[in-house]
């Protein structure tokens, strides 16, 4: 596995997301209820891996979605078919944390495409996490520093997500408290 590289925020990431989102809208049509820029590249000023994370919200994880994506040249990664469950959250039913995960083919703009079901905890998690970091720059800066240190110090890059998950959980719990205090609800889709 190649090393993890964290780069400073790039102002062109939102436009690159829009390019990826247009392609996904063309492929999935009305099956995509919403398409959102998520993850670190969606937070202005946040250092990140130069990979655009996209969440496509759908009504159900039907096989037609996988067929459409793979026919369009995206690669499915079954090993990422379920999201990490934060401590204290109910891991069942397993469908609550299920997703489809794709990456574009060789030569395309690097992206992680997460397809999740509307209203499930993992679909809400991605939007809340993003919005909290956007609204709380000190938390975003601390998260960026953690990512830089992990990328520099981990001997095995494959361990990056596993080591990072507890910090993500802590941010998520702070985000839940923030959401309750401000009456947060997801805004309109990004694309």
Residue 108 phi, psi (nearest 5): -85, 165
| 101-147 pLDDT tens trace | 999 999 999 999 999 999 999 999 999 999 999 999 999 999 999 99
Is this model's pTM higher than 0.85 or not? yes
**Average pLDDT along the chain:** 96
Domain segments of the chain as ranges: 13-182
Judge whether residue 1 has pLDDT over 90.
no
Per-residue confidence band for 188, with pLDDT thresholds at 50, 70 and 90: very high
Max alpha carbon distance in the chain (Å)?
44
Please tell me the least confidently modeled range out of 6-20, 25-39, 99-113, 148-162: 148-162
Decide if 6 contacts 151 (C-beta within 8 A).
yes
The predicted model gives 87-105 an average pLDDT of 93
Q: Which CATH superfamily is domain 13-182 in?
A: Beta Polymerase, domain 2 (3.30.460.10)
């Amino acid at each position: 596995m190649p090393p993890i590289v964290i780069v400073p925020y790039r102002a062109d990431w939102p436009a690159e997301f829009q390019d990826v989102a247009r392609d996904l809208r063309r492929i999935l049509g009305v099956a995509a209820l919403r398409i959102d820029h998520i993850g670190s590249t969606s937070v202005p000023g946040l250092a990140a891996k130069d990979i655009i994370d996209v969440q496509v919200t759908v009504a159900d994880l039907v096989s037609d979605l996988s067929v459409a994506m793979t026919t369009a040249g995206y690669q499915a990664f079954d090993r990422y078919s379920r999201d990490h469950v934060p401590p204290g959250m109910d891991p069942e039913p397993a469908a609550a944390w299920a997703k489809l995960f794709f990456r574009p083919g060789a030569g395309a703009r690097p992206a992680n495409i997460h397809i999740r079901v509307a209203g499930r905890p993992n679909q809400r998690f991605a939007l809340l996490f993003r919005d909290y970091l956007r609204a709380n720059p000190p938390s975003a800066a601390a998260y960026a520093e953690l990512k830089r240190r992990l990328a520099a110090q981990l001997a095995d890059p494959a361990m990056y997500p596993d080591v990072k998950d507890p910090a993500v959980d802590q941010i998520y719990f702070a985000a839940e408290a923030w959401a309750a205090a401000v009456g947060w609800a997801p805004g309109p889709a990004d694309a």
